[in-house]
Amino acid sequence: MKLELGNIHVRDLAFGPVSEVKENTVVIEQQALLNHLCELDHRIRSIELSIAKPGDSIRIMPVKDAIEPRVKVNGGGDIFPGRHLGEEAMVGEGRTHVLKGMAVITTGEVVGFQEGILDMSGPGAEYTPFSSTMNLVIQCEVDDSCNQYDHEGVLRLVGLEAGRWIGKLAADVEPDEIQTYETKPLLEQAAEYPNLPKVGYVYMLQSQGLLHDSYYYGVDVKGMLPTLMYPTEVMDGAIISGNCVSACDKNTSYVHQNSPVIYDLYRHHGSKYNFMGVIVTNENVTLRDKERSSNFVVKLAKQMGWDAAIVSEEGFGNPDADLMMNCAKLEAAGIQTVLLTDEYAGQNGESQSLADSHESANAVVTNGNANQLVTLPAMDKVIGHDRYADMVAGGFQGSLHEDGSITVEIQAILSATSELGYHHLTTKAS
């Protein structure tokens, strides 16, 4: 598949009388978008739209998801394929326009306790990449007839449909730059660079149920077996988030669209290695399911002739077992493996970092200790509900102070320790 991404760099975001993208500014006519979103589900009680820009004294919480507005210009189906929006065509080829530097952020009453905080300024902003984007914030409240699963589903649909609606404004805009990515059918791809090592990516998705779900072409991945996919499909929204895992390592839909692992693998494709493609797999609850999925991962990696693999996880604790199982079996098959994870090493950094380990896991990239403690000063404006500070993962009784400041682990900050590396943390020499 060959995909062209036409990036339109968003420099400003505003409400106005006509929805358009003009001179790198996205203008949204509020009532038109509100009318569209409110018609999506009769259980929507209210929707409010706000704008949050870098440097604003704004706190958004609890955050459900982040979505980058994009639109298919030609080739393939619509953005975000699957049952959510009624599109069943394949994506990953043709041309897609991207409103680069903008995000749709969804918030509202808490769905699950593992939802996050996004500060647009102050020390909290340093931990999240979404403090640097122009954000359209959608606060959506649903009626009491919704259980937690319905609640999550409604907000997921609202966020994706808003991203698609806004993306369409850029369909006829000339991009600032066009980037091209291509992965050929297996036999062609293998023959293209015969002297380079064949490298692939094992993409682990959160799928443990109980509001811990991800979707591939609209299918809840907890019920699927590992499968092959073109990397460009990810860029076109084939994978979306539907989970409420800890905010720090939740892969939002935006992070999937911009997976730095995939983009970086393409960057050195043809020079350092031959990037063969992606195996998408799930994270399971039972030992039997973990064994089955990891067996399929290794079978597919061998079938594709990989010499090396990168494996990333989503979440922590139970998924650490899936991570290590994939690693051990890939290494046993002669496929050199690098793992991407984060750590839960306690606030003092002295606790066991991962819930599982294996001697073959000798090449591990950490994306930070999620238990690190931080105090976030009060903001002038809160979009959503800060009263949940004491209950979100990373918070505790007394996290929310009377002056509006919050003391939490960075576990509560959106994308603070993203296991795909989409964050601001790095290492430094002591």
**Beta strands per DSSP E along 146-268:** 177-182, 198-205, 214-216, 219-220, 227-229, 239-241
In a domain, 420, yes or no: no
| Active site (annotated) includes residue 244 | yes
In a domain, 422, yes or no: no
Q: What is the mean pLDDT of the chain?
A: 94
Angle in degrees, 0-180, between the axes of helices 148-167 and 30-38, rounded to the nearest 10: 140
14 to 55, 140, 385: CA distances (angstroms): 16, 20, 23
Please say if the pLDDT value at position 87 is more than 90. no
In a domain, 423, yes or no: no
In a domain, 77, yes or no: yes
pLDDT, tens digit, for every residue of 301-360?
999 999 999 999 999 999 999 999 999 999 999 999 999 999 999 998 888 888 889 999
3-state secondary structure at position 390: helix
Rounded to an integer, what distance in angstroms lies between the CA atom of residue 340 and that of residue 330? 15
Distance, CA of 144 to chain centre: 28
**Span of 62-66, 88-92, 227-231 with lowest mean pLDDT:** 88-92
User: Residue 392's domain spans which residues?
Assistant: 2-412
Domain count of the chain? Answer: 1
In a domain, 334, yes or no: yes
In a domain, 429, yes or no: no
In a domain, 428, yes or no: no
- Of the candidates 146, 244, 248, 327, the residue annotated as catalytic is 244
- The answer, as to whether pTM is greater than 0.85, is yes
Residue 376 binned pLDDT confidence (cut-offs 50, 70, 90): very high
In a domain, 426, yes or no: no
pLDDT, tens digit, for every residue of 411-424?
999 999 999 999 98
